[in-house]
């Protein structure tokens, strides 16, 4: 029984969450040199040969075989996603100067957190350090948005929601905050997809629905943001259908729910759900 269990163990956890986190590292600018011994995700489905691993993850056993497929190591870097192993992730933390407190998040008491959770924590620490190094901002500090990015996000918000001047100040600030966070994540994803530089701004003033859906699916860090933005749009739609002079209490409840929606799961509770139902 023991030998059978060992045979089924994968060298690294392979699921959508891990692959999404690995792709996020690539998006943050993690550099790597294709070499024998690396696990890679063929996200663009370039390789026709089947893999012994799930989710189109391959192990580079022969560099010649991979360069025959992709044409060059540079093409491999562009089209493949490196999936660092636990040991490689620890080495990256050391190389990038990840603070001990960050790397220490993979340890609880005296127990090393192995498997998917531990690897994801290492990936998250690396991602924070890459972002901090790129911006010159200490890890954990909020990164300032450029005026061009803020303006684009504001135009998208105005296009989708219209004027918010009639709403209380705290509601306006909350909506703007969610849209800014979502917009920055969207811009980073869009630039990677379109192979654009970091200061590129899309010509249209709207979120691409399919791309936004991909962002919410692939990046666990962004799922709550995507849900919060959807909740905001739904609640504001309900709010606009109510006459505040006739139903002030109902309007107030909806606004309070909007402010609290990012702290709860997607469900709103029976009473609030009834309040939001059209008459």
Helix, strand, or coil here: 224? helix
Q: How far is CA 235 from CA 43, 216, 222, 230, 232, in A?
A: 36, 19, 20, 9, 5
Domain boundary among the residues 113, 135, 157 is at 135
Last residue of a domain, one of 111, 135, 159: 135
What are the tokens at 83?
């999936």
Contacts by 167-173 with C-beta closer than 8 Å and gap 24+?
167/255, 168/255, 170/259, 171/255, 171/258, 171/259
Domain boundary residue among 135, 157, 172?
A: 135
pTM across the whole model: 0.48
Measured at the CA of 133, the angle between CA 21 and CA 196, to 5 degrees, comes to: 65
Shared domain for 116 and 158, answered yes or no, is no
pLDDT per residue of the chain (279 residues) written in tens, 0 to 9? 444 444 455 677 888 888 988 998 988 888 888 999 999 999 989 999 999 899 999 999 999 999 999 999 999 999 999 999 888 888 888 787 775 434 445 544 434 455 677 788 888 888 888 877 765 544 444 444 567 888 899 999 999 888 888 877 777 878 888 888 888 888 887 887 788 887 889 999 999 888 888 777 654 556 777 888 888 888 888 887 888 778 888 878 877 777 775 544 433 333 333 333 443
Give the tokens for residue 19: 């692959």
- How far apart, in whole angstroms, are the C-alpha atoms of residue 3 and residue 204? 57
Domain housing 49 = 2-135
**141 within a domain of the structure (yes/no):** no
Q: What's the total number of domains in the chain?
A: 2
């Amino acid at each position: 029984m023991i030998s059978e269990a060992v045979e089924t163990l994968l060298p690294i956890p392979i699921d959508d969450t891990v692959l999404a986190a690995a792709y996020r590292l690539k998006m943050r600018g993690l550099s790597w040199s294709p070499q024998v011994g690396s696990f890679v995700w063929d996200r663009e489905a370039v390789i026709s040969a089947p893999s012994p691993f799930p989710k189109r993850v391959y192990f580079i056993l022969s560099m010649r075989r991979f360069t025959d497929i992709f044409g060059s190591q540079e093409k491999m870097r562009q089209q493949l996603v490196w999936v660092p192993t636990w040991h490689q992730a620890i080495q990256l933390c050391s190389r990038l100067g990840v603070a001990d407190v960050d790397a220490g998040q993979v340890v609880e008491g005296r127990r090393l957190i192995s498997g998917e959770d531990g690897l994801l924590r290492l990936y998250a620490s690396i991602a924070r350090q890459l972002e901090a190094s790129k911006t010159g901002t200490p890890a954990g500090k909020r990164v300032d948005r450029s005026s061009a990015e803020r303006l684009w996000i504001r135009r998208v918000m105005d296009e989708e929601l219209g004027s918010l001047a009639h709403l209380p100040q705290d509601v306006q600030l909350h909506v703007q905050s969610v849209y800014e966070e979502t917009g920055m994540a969207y811009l980073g994803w869009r630039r990677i997809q379109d192979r654009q530089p970091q200061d590129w701004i899309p010509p249209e003033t709207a979120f691409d629905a399919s791309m936004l859906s991909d962002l919410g699916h692939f990046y666990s860090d962004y799922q709550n943001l995507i849900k919060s933005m959807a909740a905001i749009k739904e609640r504001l739609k309900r709010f606009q259908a109510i006459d505040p002079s006739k139903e002030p209490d109902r309007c107030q409840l909806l606004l309070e729910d909007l402010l609290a929606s990012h702290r709860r799961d997607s469900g709103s509770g029976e009473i609030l759900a009834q309040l939001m139902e059209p008459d």
